């Protein structure tokens, strides 16, 4: 396997990043071996103590950058996610789950805190670090006597951004490892093996206590992997074409007038589906490790994504500068609830409501669960949109700009035009990729207000790609939703201050820059 190459501009950025020194952990066994047959061991005192605690252990998994329609059980593609499909067949699958933001840090903060972006502030006014004042999900579980641990392949989900709060054990893939793999291709000896690290922790954890484990699997995030065999790459692609296409396009900059052609987009989508399948296999390995542990009962498993990914919709690639459906519609699967028969929930839900719901299911706190509904079509019928709960998502341009102190360190020329960041140099105002953007879903209707104060209205029940603006056809509804969204922005976004927001570290800035979030 090898990772696709970057453009010259991006490679220079990576070289700058490589100059930063990080503390890396390098121990792992890279040799796969068959599982040894084991005999049942005598019950230990810890096992006996665990049997007396009826609370379930909890596994929360984010498959980074996974859009809902890339999951096979959501009906648009076959064979990408057998592990997720198995969980869905035994549990609850939410067909209309929405992320609070189209980028990693803000969405994870909402996931862990249960707060909207405007409430926690990460993603507004340049804030990129979760403040210590937030009460995070791992802190709730630790205070309840759980063992807490996190394993993440995304360096943005790390201590640099305050996302380690509440975890007794926290391991993340260091930025240097990611950059070396992308510059040289493939993973070298000693690279971060999330399954092996998870296995080591599992062997050493306190078995007298239930556990809360968070896992972030990064494979679906660009740049995409070129594999010797990939069933999702179009058969019409010539030999070597997938590798050429992967190296030609740096996803964060391939938008607007730089959008790849249709055939190239389908090749990139095929590479992406191959990476989705790789993440699904890792999830299967993680769950196997737990299944072989012999713990009493089965863990509660929650699988989702922090945001989606564009493949040409609305003239976009990637997940920047957008509050469009492709970037916000995510899978959400809950498995392991013994009191719940397998079901599909069509009611629209928010990813951030996972926090309160998990605490309800595991600890009996915060009930009723915000995700717990027995209706399969509640609030989803046409004509009920104005009466359904609003779901807000937000993107602010302030998080895409380099901090002044970093610009000074990089010796950016004073006469350089900083008004149009490089990723959008092929875009104009009509592309709606500049400024702060806010969306409100009252399913099936969705209102978007862009940075230039223009707005569009879409009916997601038949137009999930948001190609047709319904504002002129439904003027009264459009006006009512626009007034509501304007009031939300006025009271929750414009007036919010961030004087006490933690400053982004240099390591954090380099990490954001390397993944295309800073310009």
- pLDDT per residue as tens digits for the range 337-355: 988 899 999 999 999 999 9
- pLDDT per residue as tens digits for the range 157-170: 988 889 999 999 99
Query: What secondary structure does DSSP assign to 482-502, as a single string?
Result: HHHHHHHIIIIIIT---TTPP
Mean pLDDT over 377-403 rounds to 67
Return the closest-CA partner of residue 87 out of 76, 98, 71, 75.
71
Mean pLDDT over 443-462 rounds to 96
Give the pLDDT band (50/70/90) at residue 191.
confident
In angstroms, the CA 309 to CA 64 distance is: 10
Q: Which of 84-93, 463-472, 500-509 has the lowest mean pLDDT?
A: 500-509
Tell me: pLDDT of 147 over 80. Answer: yes
Give the per-residue pLDDT at 36.
Answer: 43
Report yes or no: 289 and 195 within 8 Å, Cβ to Cβ. Answer: yes
Tokens of residue 251, six digits: 């996803």
Tell me: pLDDT of 213 over 80. Answer: yes
Tell me which of 12 and 268 has the higher pLDDT.
268
Average of per-residue pLDDT values in the chain: 83
Tell me: pLDDT of 493 over 60. Answer: yes
Tell me: pLDDT of 454 over 70. Answer: yes
Mean pLDDT over 476-497 rounds to 88
Buried b (16+ CB within 10 A) or exposed e, 424-443: bebbeeebbbbbbbbbbbbb
In angstroms, the CA 159 to CA 108 distance is: 13
Mean pLDDT over 77-106 rounds to 97
Give the per-residue pLDDT at 175.
Answer: 63
Give the per-residue pLDDT at 413.
Answer: 58
- Contacting residues for 174 by C-beta, under 8 A, at least 6 apart: 22, 23, 24, 25, 155, 192
Tell me: pLDDT of 212 over 60. Answer: yes
| Dihedral sign computed on CA atoms, order 172, 178, 181, 184 | negative
Tell me: pLDDT of 182 over 90. Answer: no
In angstroms, the CA 47 to CA 64 distance is: 34
Give the per-residue pLDDT at 214.
Answer: 98
Tell me: pLDDT of 387 over 90. Answer: no
- pLDDT per residue as tens digits for the range 227-236: 999 999 999 9
Tell me which of 191 and 199 has the higher pLDDT.
199
Tell me: pLDDT of 375 over 80. Answer: no
Give a three-class secondary structure readout of 39-89: CCCCCCHHHHHHHCCCCCCEEEEEECCCCHHHCHHHCCCCCCCHHHHHHHH
Mean pLDDT over 264-271 rounds to 98
Query: What secondary structure does DSSP assign to 283-333, as a single string?
Result: HHHHHHHHHTTT-SS--EEEEE-S---EESGGG-EETSS---HHHHEEEEE
Tell me: pLDDT of 499 over 60. Answer: no
Tokens of residue 142, six digits: 């630790």
Tell me: pLDDT of 126 over 60. Answer: yes
Q: Which of 171-175, 189-193, 425-429, 472-476 has the lowest mean pLDDT?
A: 189-193
Q: Which domains does the chain have, with CATH numbers?
A: 56-363 (3.40.720.10), 385-514 (3.30.1120.10)
Give the per-residue pLDDT at 500.
Answer: 44
Helix or strand run (H / E) with residue 198: helix 194-204
Tell me: pLDDT of 476 over 50. Answer: yes
DSSP character at residue 238: P
Q: What is the dihedral of CA 488, 493, 494, 498, to 10 degrees?
A: 150
Give the per-residue pLDDT at 13.
Answer: 39
Return the closest-CA partner of residue 388 out of 446, 302, 322.
446
Give the per-residue pLDDT at 346.
Answer: 94
Cross-strand pairs, 169: 149
Tell me: pLDDT of 273 over 50. Answer: yes
Report yes or no: 279 and 396 within 8 Å, Cβ to Cβ. Answer: no
- What are the φ and ψ backbone dihedral angles of 318, each rounded to 5 degrees? 80, -150
Mean pLDDT over 148-160 rounds to 92
Give the per-residue pLDDT at 490.
Answer: 92
Tell me: pLDDT of 94 over 60. Answer: yes
Tokens of residue 374, six digits: 């027995």
In angstroms, the CA 334 to CA 52 distance is: 25
Give the pLDDT band (50/70/90) at residue 510.
low
Give the per-residue pLDDT at 15.
Answer: 30
Give the pLDDT band (50/70/90) at residue 336.
very high
Give the pLDDT band (50/70/90) at residue 9.
very low
DSSP character at residue 106: H
Mean pLDDT over 467-475 rounds to 97
Mean pLDDT over 395-413 rounds to 64
Tokens of residue 212, six digits: 């809360």
Query: What secondary structure does DSSP assign to 323-387, as a single string?
Result: --HHHHEEEEEEE--TT---EEE-S-EEGGGHHHHHHHHHHS-SPSPTT--S-SSTT-STT-GGG
What Cα–Cα distance (Å) separates residue 468 from each residue in 76, 265, 454, 459?
A: 21, 22, 15, 8
Give the per-residue pLDDT at 180.
Answer: 57
Give the pLDDT band (50/70/90) at residue 241.
very high
Tell me: pLDDT of 283 over 70. Answer: yes
Give the pLDDT band (50/70/90) at residue 507.
low
Q: Which of 66-70, 289-293, 378-382 has the lowest mean pLDDT?
A: 378-382
How far is CA 409 from its chain centroid? Answer: 30
Percent of the chain whose predicted confidence (pLDDT) is above 90:
66
User: What is the reported pTM?
Assistant: 0.84
Look at the block and give the residue holding tokens 């989900």. Answer: 157
Return the closest-CA partner of residue 250 out of 97, 77, 425, 71.
425
């Amino acid at each position: 396997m090898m990772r696709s190459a970057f453009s010259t501009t991006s490679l220079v950025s990576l070289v700058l990043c490589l100059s930063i020194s990080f503390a890396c952990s390098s121990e792992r066994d890279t040799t796969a071996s068959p599982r040894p047959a084991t005999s049942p061991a005598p019950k230990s005192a810890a096992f006996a103590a665990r049997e007396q605690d009826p609370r379930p252990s909890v596994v929360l998994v984010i498959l980074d950058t996974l859009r809902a329609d890339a999951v096979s059980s959501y009906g648009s593609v076959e064979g990408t996610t057998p592990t997720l499909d198995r969980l869905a067949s035994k549990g609850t699958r939410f067909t209309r789950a929405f992320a609070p933001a189209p980028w990693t840090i803000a969405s994870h903060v909402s996931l862990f805190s249960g707060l909207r972006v405007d409430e926690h502030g990460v993603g507004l006014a340049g804030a990129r670090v979760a403040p210590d004042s937030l009460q995070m999900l791992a802190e709730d579980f630790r205070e309840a006597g759980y063992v807490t641990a996190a394993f993440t392949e995304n360096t943005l989900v790390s201590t640099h951004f305050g996302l380690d709060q509440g975890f007794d054990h926290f391991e993340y893939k260091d930025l240097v490892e990611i950059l070396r793999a992308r510059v040289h291709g493939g993973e070298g000896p000693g690279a971060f093996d999330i399954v092996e690290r998870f296995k080591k922790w599992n062997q050493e954890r306190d078995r007298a206590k239930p556990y809360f484990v968070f896992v972030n699997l990064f494979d679906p995030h660009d740049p995409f992997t070129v594999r010797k065999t990939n069933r999702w790459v179009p058969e019409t692609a010539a030999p070597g074409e997938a590798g050429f296409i992967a190296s030609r396009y740096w996803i964060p900059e391939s938008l607007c007038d730089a959008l790849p052609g249709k055939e190239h987009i389908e090749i990139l989508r095929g590479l992406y589906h191959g990476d989705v399948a790789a993440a699904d296999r890792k999830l299967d390995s993680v769950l196997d490790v737990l299944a072989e542990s012999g713990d009493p009962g089965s863990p509660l498993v929650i699988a989702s994504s922090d945001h989606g990914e564009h493949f040409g919709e609305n003239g976009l690639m990637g997940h920047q500068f957008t509050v469009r459906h492709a970037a916000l519609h995510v899978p959400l699967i809950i498995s392991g609830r013994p009191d719940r028969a397998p079901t599909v929930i069509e009611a629209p839900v928010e990813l951030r409501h996972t926090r309160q719901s998990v605490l309800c299911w595991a600890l009996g706190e915060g009930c009723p669960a915000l995700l717990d509904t027995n209706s399969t079509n509640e609030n989803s019928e046409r004509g009920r949109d104005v009466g359904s709960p609003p779901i807000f998502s937000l993107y602010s341009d302030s998080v895409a700009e380099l901090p002044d102190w970093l610009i000074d360190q990089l010796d950016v020329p004073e006469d350089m035009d900083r008004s149009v960041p490089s990723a959008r140099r092929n875009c104009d105002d009509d592309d709606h990729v500049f400024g702060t953007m806010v969306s409100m879903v009252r399913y099936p209707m969705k209102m978007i207000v862009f940075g230039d104060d223009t707005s569009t209205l879409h009916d997601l029940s038949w137009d999930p790609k948001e190609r047709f603006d319904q504002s002129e056809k439904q003027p009264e509804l459009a006006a009512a939703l626009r007034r509501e969204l304007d009031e939300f922005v006025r009271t929750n976004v414009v007036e919010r201050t961030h004087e006490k927001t933690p400053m982004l570290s240099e390591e954090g800035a380099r990490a954001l820059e390397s993944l295309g979030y800073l310009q």
